[in-house]
Amino acid sequence: MHRLDQTLTFKTNYFSKDPEYTISPDDFGFVFVSRGVHVADEPEKDGEKVTQHRAAARPVKNASGKGPVSISVYAPGSDFDSTISTILYLRDCWAEGIKKYVTFHLIYHTDHVPKKIPTTEELLGRKMDCSVDPPKWSNVTTYRQQKKLLYPVNVARNVARRQASTYFVFPSDVELYPSINFIPEFFKMLKKPDISNTTLPRVFVFSIFEVEENESPPETKPELTKMLLNKKAIPFHQRVCQRCHTIPHSKEWAAGKVMPGLSVMHVGKREGLFKKWEPIYVGTQKEPLYDERLSWEGKSDKMTQMYILCVREYEFHILDNAFLVHRPGIKKAKRDARRDVVVAKQSRIISKHILPEYKALFGYKKECVV
């Protein structure tokens, strides 16, 4: 089924009297969202479903897990048409799961509108020849790269989540692959007695790992444990920002005996040694959205949401047998002079404008930081 619905507009400008702290329309401006450009054949339904919603600079090649996936793709200018072609190929030729479970949402900037947005009839009439090579989705220079556009990652995250119709949602990034069968096991777990006797809000956290470039991502915890022992896998961002993703009791998590099913092995808080923690979790539509003033290049794009969860005293329920693995390849810290400028600018915006605003709106706790 193909559908191109009406366009939504999200205002993401951030203006300040101090031009040093202004993200101009050249950076974000107004972002238009084309809703449900290609809609999954199996619609999202409430009940025992978790929608994985993901942000992507280009379409996903893998759709992990038997559950609905809502993907936002940033496709400004001429990237729009090439993205449509890639999505069609993925749906028609790549994997049955993509056509069955994945819905794509394309976003673009009003200063970089595509020359033409296809109608529903035009999309229905486009057929992909699966016998030819697929559209190139790597080692290409995109319109976004040519124009040196920042990636509005939080706009993409929020759009993907807003379009999910399930109660539980799993905000993740397109290059993070979940362990096998986590959706059915998650709902089985919810039927067990709760580990926490509080009424505080909670989310369910995944441990995250990286594997060597020539390795296949593990699907089960025993496979992952073996790779950790053989040094073929390491904790996520260990060589980039270890404190950002290290979970409480991480050593116990890795060494723990693998039991059938899924359960919560520890309830953590984002404070103390973990005050800079930015976990990826299963939550609900009730959790705060991501701040759309922040770009991926500027870093700390999830930290402001984490501040809100901290002051609201969220519990982080760490799952024992569920995990995420990044697309193969170990990340290493490297300098990027252009990005350093954007990081410095975004850091000033957060400290001078966003954090004071959040303290006024959501409150203040000494242990809660951005």
Per-residue pLDDT of the chain (370 residues; tens, 9 = 90+): 333 333 333 333 322 233 232 233 334 444 444 544 556 666 555 556 666 766 654 444 444 457 899 999 999 999 999 999 999 999 899 888 888 889 888 998 888 999 988 887 888 788 899 999 988 877 889 999 999 999 999 999 999 999 898 999 999 998 999 999 999 999 999 999 888 889 999 999 999 999 999 999 999 999 999 999 999 999 998 888 878 888 899 999 998 888 889 999 999 999 999 999 999 999 999 999 999 999 999 999 999 999 999 999 999 999 999 999 999 998 888 889 989 999 999 999 999 999 999 999 999 999 999 9
CA angle in degrees (0–180, nearest 5) for 204-96-66: 20
CA distance linking residue 254 with residue 256, whole number of Å: 6
CB 165 within 8 A of CB 44: yes
- The residue among 69, 30, 59 whose CA lies nearest residue 142 is 59
Whole-angstrom distance, CA of residue 247 vs CA of residue 213:
24
Residues 107, 35: Cα–Cα separation, whole Å: 9
63, 53 contact by CB (below 8 A): no
Cβ neighbour number for residue 78 with a 10 Å cutoff: 16
* CA 270/CA 16 separation, integer angstroms: 30
Q: Using CA atoms, how far apart are residues 204 and 196, in angstroms rounded to an integer?
A: 12
What is the distance of C-alpha 361 from the center of its chain?
25
Angle (deg, nearest 10), helices 303-311 and 355-362: 30
pTM value is: 0.85
